[in-house]
Structure formats: C-alpha cells, structure tokens
Amino acid sequence: PRKWDVCVVGAGLSGGVIAERYATLRKQSVLIVEKRRHIAGNCYDFLDDQTGLRLNLYGPHNFHTKLTNVWDYVKRFGRWAHYYHKKLAWSEGRFVPFPLNTETLNTIYDQHLMGANETAAFLAKIAEPCGPGGCSNSEQQSVASVGRAAYNQFYRGYTLKQWGVDPSQLDALVTGRISVRSDFDNRYFTDRYQSQPRDGYTRWMAGILSDPLIDLVLGVDWFDVQQRLAGRCGKLIFTGPIDHYFADSGLPKLTYRSLRFEKLAVLNIGEHGYYQPGTSVNYPEMAVPFTRSTEYKHYPGQPRSNHTVVVRETSGADGEPYYPVPNPRNHALYAKYKALADKEALKGVHFVGRLANYKYFNMDQAIDNALRIFDGLDRDSAPGRPPVK
C-alpha cells in the first residue's frame, strides 16, 4: 500500500503551511486528511449563490501582521489587496469607532480632547487601577484601562454575550487583547501589513496546497481512517482538537465558545448600496441579541453585486470549537493534555495549530508557528534519512 513521508490532519492554515514546506523544500510526499468537505479551515470563503458576494463560512477574517517573514510567505500564493480593517460599535443610538480612541472618548464622555497627552491624562483620571498584584480578571482590566462608564457601555454586555459569563469571571487577557488609542487612529489593527487575498482565502489556500507531492482527501475524519493508515505515515502532524486525539485518556473535555451565523440578504440595494456604514459593527448592548454584524461587500476584491449581505453573530457553548475559554480549569486541563502530547512526539506525532495547542492564534501567528515548527522538525530530522516511500 501507498506510504507518505508526512500525514497531516486538517487542511487549515497550520496543516497547509507544514504540508507546503515538506513538499516544496524537502520534496517529501504528504497526505492531508480533512474532515470538512473543503480546504482552508476556518478561513474558508465561498461565493454566495443568492448575491454573488464572497462570504466567510466561519466568520470574517482580516489578515494583519507585523512579521515580514509571514508577509513575504503569504504573498507567494496569490494577489493581495490593501485593506485597513475598521470597526464601529453601535451604542445609545449611534456608531462610534472601536477600539476606543480619542473620538470615542470625546463622544461618550462629552470631551474635546486633542492629542495623545490630553487623552492619556483623561484616561488616567477615569481609570480605576488594579491593585499591586495586577488585574486578575477582565472587569478589573477594562475598568483600569477605560473607566467604569465605558466599561459598562462597551465591554460588559459584549463580553457577557460573547463568553456567556460576567467579565469578572474571565481571565484578564480576554479584554486585555483590545487596545485603547490615545489618538484618532480608527484602524482596528496597527500592524504594518494589512491586506486581504484578492480572490479570497480559499483560492489563496489552494495555491499553498498546489504542489503535486501533496495528496488531499476531503470529507474524511482522521479517526475513521487512522487504523487503515497505521504504518503508512513517516510522521503525523495533527492540527485538530488535542482532546479529540486523547479521547481515550479519561481526561475531561476542554471547553470552547462557539458562534452561530445568521445571514441577512438585502436584495436590489444597488451596486453601490450598503446596509451599514462599515465592514464590521459591534453591538455591546444586551438588548440586541447578536454581538457583531459583518457586511462583506465592504471588503476589497468582492465581485460586483446589485445586492448586499450582512451576517450577524451570536455566541454559544455548542457547535464548532472556535475560541478556547481561558480559565483556571482549562489551563490546568490543557497542561495535562500537553504532557501526553509531549510523549507522543517521541512516536513522531506533532500537535500544531490553534485546536491542537488550545490557543487562539491569529492567522499570521498560525502561519509563523507552523513555519517555526517545520524548521524545528526539519533540523531534528537525521540528515540524509531517506524519505519513506
């Protein structure tokens, strides 16, 4: 029977990048087994039948990075269109820039601040600093950063809806990821490189997987074929959920937050017609059932369409595993899984990517991580070891 030097579970970014490296740099054969019926993992996008617009199936994806090596890598597999992502928050009947910047603060606190020094001094005045031990949860972290009123208006409801728990019960790093600006910069990210693949993520990902040494099987769960493939993979790169791999270990499951997407098509609005003022709007108020609304027509590289689509998101505990829930129980549990994974590495099984590491990775971090892991594994391979055939 056929053998491969490397078998990869998952055709997302992590699996795709590792596969590409082994095939193009090491000239090794790779088999990718993907349980979904498409490539590109959570970055997958497609053309909507009803409107002709390109939508992401698993939520909007905005590429941004400060890493030149990652930017140089991604450009090799397709054309990219410059795009600064901007987000608005809808609160008390108006749209304001989010993350909070000087304009947002002026609007909600009725100020006339100008420049970084004034804004920083104002933020210092309204903030309630954390104690000497630092901020121990998301409520403390955000009140220390933007003050109580802005916390109540923009953070509390959104976090409750998104995570299903009060911010006081969540790790400080959850809201700590949200920046606050002391100027009028309304870009959501400040990284140097910000762009979208002109023909969509799926087409771009097809470029990554195009080497003839890569075999791809879609719609097949690894756990259904692993017995059949026993002894036929030189090494195994696993990018699925780590607790699925160790399902027989007796350890409890890690918990995730999932999302539900509701599509609202607005037909015949005109080629230049839009539903909302920007790509992405946050809805922090509890009275609004959804958390975020995305209008894909604002993205560059979209096909021309006489229609538009907004996709609204609500969060829940069930469904596709999207966001790891950072709390002490999961941190401790993941450490146990990680110990099992470290032992598995001795058998040539390596855990790569956001699900296998139980860690939120932005796309650039996932790519950088995969590139680094490939370099490490490549260095460790005995020189001259003949590829398995």
Tokens linked to 121: 């001094």
CB of 207 to ligand FDA, least distance (A): 16
User: Of these, 9, 236, 281, 371, which contacts ligand FDA (CB under 6 A)?
Assistant: 9
Name residues contacting ligand FDA, limited to 74-113 (CB under 6 A). none
C-beta closer to ligand FDA: residue 102 or 162:
162
Among 42, 137, 279, 294, binds ligand FDA (CB under 6 A): 42
Burial of 381 (0-12, 13-18, 19+ CB in 10 A): middle
**Which run of H or E residues covers position 88?**
strand 87-91
Q: Within 10 Å of residue 232's Cβ, how many Cβ atoms? A: 13
Parallel/antiparallel/unpaired status of strands 214-218 and 323-324: unpaired
Can you tell me which of 5, 20, 34, 45 binds ligand FDA, judged by CB under 6 A? 34
By CB under 6 A, tell whether 70 contacts ligand FDA: no
Please identify which residue in 47, 67, 130, 259 interacts with ligand FDA, judged by CB under 6 A.
259
Bridge partner list, 264: 310
For position 282 contacting ligand FDA by CB under 6 A, the verdict is: no
As a residue count, the chain comes to: 389
Q: Which listed range, 61-69, 141-149, 151-159, 201-209, lies at the site for ligand FDA (CB under 6 A)?
A: 61-69
Helix (H) or strand (E) holding 327: none
Tokens linked to 88: 């608005």
Q: Does 363 bind ligand FDA (CB under 6 A)?
A: yes
Torsion of Cα atoms, 160 then 318 then 258 then 162, to 10°: -10
Q: What is the C-alpha end-to-end distance of the chain, expressed in Å?
A: 10
Of residues 5, 23, 41, 83, which one binds ligand FDA by CB under 6 A?
Answer: 41
> Cβ of residue 330: shortest distance to ligand FDA, in angstroms?
16
Question: Can residue 206 be called a binding residue for ligand FDA (CB under 6 A)?
Answer: no
Residue 78 near residue 197, CB atoms below 8 Å: yes
Among 52, 59, 164, 348, interactor with ligand FDA by CB under 6 A:
59
Nearer to ligand FDA among residue 151 and residue 245 (C-beta): 245
Q: Which of 28, 29, 51, 62 binds ligand FDA (CB under 6 A)?
A: 62
Question: Could you identify the residue written with the tokens 């230049």?
Answer: 272
Q: In the numeric block, which tokens belong to residue 12?
A: 């997302």
Question: Where along the sequence are the contacts to ligand FDA (CB under 6 A)?
Answer: 9-15, 33-36, 41-43, 58-63, 221-223, 239-240, 244, 259, 322, 353-355, 361-364, 366
